[in-house]
Amino acid sequence: MPTAAVIGGGPAGLMAAEVLVQGGVQVDLYDAMPSVGRKFLLAGVGGMNITHSESFDAFLSRYGAQADSIRPLLEAFPPDALREWIHRVGVETFVGSSGRVFPKEMKAAPLLRAWLHRHREAGVRFHVRHRWLGWADDGALHFAIPQGELSIQADAVVLALGGGSWAKLGSDGAWVPLLVRRGVDIAPLLPSNCGFDVAGGWSEHLRSRFAGQPLKTVALRFSDAAGRVHQRKGELMLSDTGVEGSLVYAVSAPLRDTIAGQGSVKVELDLAPDKTLERVIAEVTHPRGARSLSSHLQSRAGIKGTKMALLREILSAEQLNDSMKLAHAIKSLPLTLSAPRPLDEAISSAGGVRFEALDDTLMLHTLPGVFCAGEMLDWEAPTGGYLLTACLASGRVAGQGALNYLRTHHAATD
């Protein structure tokens, strides 16, 4: 029986293992952590977002510059097929009001438990606390284990080692130099779906009283280094050092790349996106009598709490007391972002094994019989089910590629 080693127990590795074991291959799955699927479980804590129900073309567009590279993976395992697969595992799904797809129980743990049970029944052998160290001189896979070191041989290998974010859950990017030494072309790992630092930092008052507080229903607008305008509406959160949250995560790639190109990026926040500038001017300039500015803005323009604190943080006393300047600031509050947060804090990472280093089965050109899948490939996407879908799709393609390689290889050597 041909053998395959899958290194990495996240969604991509588990999917590759499933394809291989169903194809009659003896599969051994190795993971450096004490248990598999740790980042997968963390991603499901707030509600397991599996995929999205939008049209295929809209879905594909979320992968930005790498959409053409991701297309064949998603065509091989599109979002609808992913939902059908989850139902076969025994987990029901539903489509939320936003179009996002969730498990009925809203948790990742039941899906992972059912999936691992299927793997074990099919014959997949799991080896935890096995940290991959690369290849030995004889081509064997080399691991560090609690008892020392271990070398094993396999007829095919699927690497699904994750990106570089959340090292404590296993995605530490330690595989990068191992592949570079083998001549694999790798784009630097960068933070994606991350927060950003504000230039100069927040005042102690704002940081101590409002860090962790949301800015609900705001719009963000900025121009990237190429002059393209990005504008989105959603929710932000103030952090100790700047801003984070779904709104900024959705545009983290152009924000990050613009900062890399020009040192910083100026964004404009619309604190009242559902009101026109004319309406805000009318409300702010309305006589307020004996009411405080805070009370006036809360009653007339809906500006309160974190939004009011941010206005006081950024505007001078003269601007706050000038009704026209204040109204314009509510609709276009300038904020300069100076840096993305560190990679290990990011939800996901960009960069990784370039698609040019792989054939269409995700096998490395320089290492026949070695396939790559998941977040260690050079792509990125926003949250909303896009990350998990591409990880699963790439795992399926890599698993099928390894299966076809084994069939061809063993047919040629038998």
Name the E strands within 206-332: 214-223, 229-238, 242-244, 265-270
Return the SS3 of 231. Answer: strand
Domain check: are 147 and 242 in the same one?
Answer: no
The residue among 308, 364, 399, 372 whose CA lies nearest residue 161 is 372
Six token digits for residue 171 = 């995605």
**Could you tell me which residues come within 8 angstroms of residue 366 by beta carbon, excluding any fewer than 6 positions away?**
182, 183, 184, 357
Half-sphere exposure of 23 (CA within 13 A, CB side): 21
Query: Distances from the Cα of 249 to the Cαs of 196, 212, 217, 259, 344, in angstroms?
Result: 9, 16, 15, 15, 15
Domain check: are 40 and 128 in the same one?
Answer: yes
Written as one letter, the residue type at 184 is V
Between strands 348-353 and 125-127, the pairing is unpaired
Domain check: are 308 and 390 in the same one?
Answer: no
Domain check: are 301 and 356 in the same one?
Answer: no
Identify any residues that bridge with 358 across adjacent strands, giving them in sequence order.
Answer: 364
Half-sphere exposure of 233 (CA within 13 A, CB side): 8
Domain check: are 34 and 139 in the same one?
Answer: yes
Read off the CATH number of the domain in which 51 is found.
Answer: 3.50.50.60
Largest distance between two CA atoms of the chain:
92
**How far out from the chain centre does Cα 398 lie?**
20
The number of domains in the chain is: 2
Q: How high is the pLDDT of residue 44?
A: 59
Segments in the chain below pLDDT 70: 44-47, 410-414
Domain check: are 49 and 156 in the same one?
Answer: yes
Return the SS3 of 324. Answer: helix
Identify any residues that bridge with 90 across adjacent strands, giving them in sequence order.
Answer: none
Q: How high is the pLDDT of residue 221?
A: 97
Ordered DSSP codes for 64-75? GGGHHHHHHHHH
Are 150 and 143 in contact by the 8 Å Cβ rule? The answer is yes
Question: What number of other Cβ atoms are within 10 A of residue 373's Cβ?
Answer: 34
Angle at which helix 11-22 crosses helix 109-122, to 10 degrees, equals 30
Among 340, 364, 384, the domain-final residue is 340
Domain check: are 230 and 146 in the same one?
Answer: no
Domain check: are 276 and 407 in the same one?
Answer: no
The residue among 256, 210, 205 whose CA lies nearest residue 236 is 210
Domain check: are 221 and 180 in the same one?
Answer: no
Please give the Cα distance from 355 to 364 (Å, whole number).
9
Among 340, 357, 381, the domain-final residue is 340
Our CA angle for 184, 187, 190, nearest 5°, is: 140
Ordered DSSP codes for 195-219? -EEETT---HHHHHHHTT-EEEEEE
Domain check: are 13 and 100 in the same one?
Answer: yes
**Could you tell me which residues come within 8 angstroms of residue 370 by beta carbon, excluding any fewer than 6 positions away?**
156, 157, 158, 159, 363, 364
Among 340, 371, 393, the domain-final residue is 340
Domain check: are 134 and 56 in the same one?
Answer: yes
Domain check: are 181 and 322 in the same one?
Answer: no
Are 99 and 105 in contact by the 8 Å Cβ rule? The answer is no
Query: Distances from the Cα of 63 to the Cαs of 257, 312, 360, 402, in angstroms?
Result: 15, 37, 18, 25
Range of the domain at 260: 196-340
Residues 320-333 as b or e (16 or more Cβ within 10 Å = b): beebeebbbbbbeb
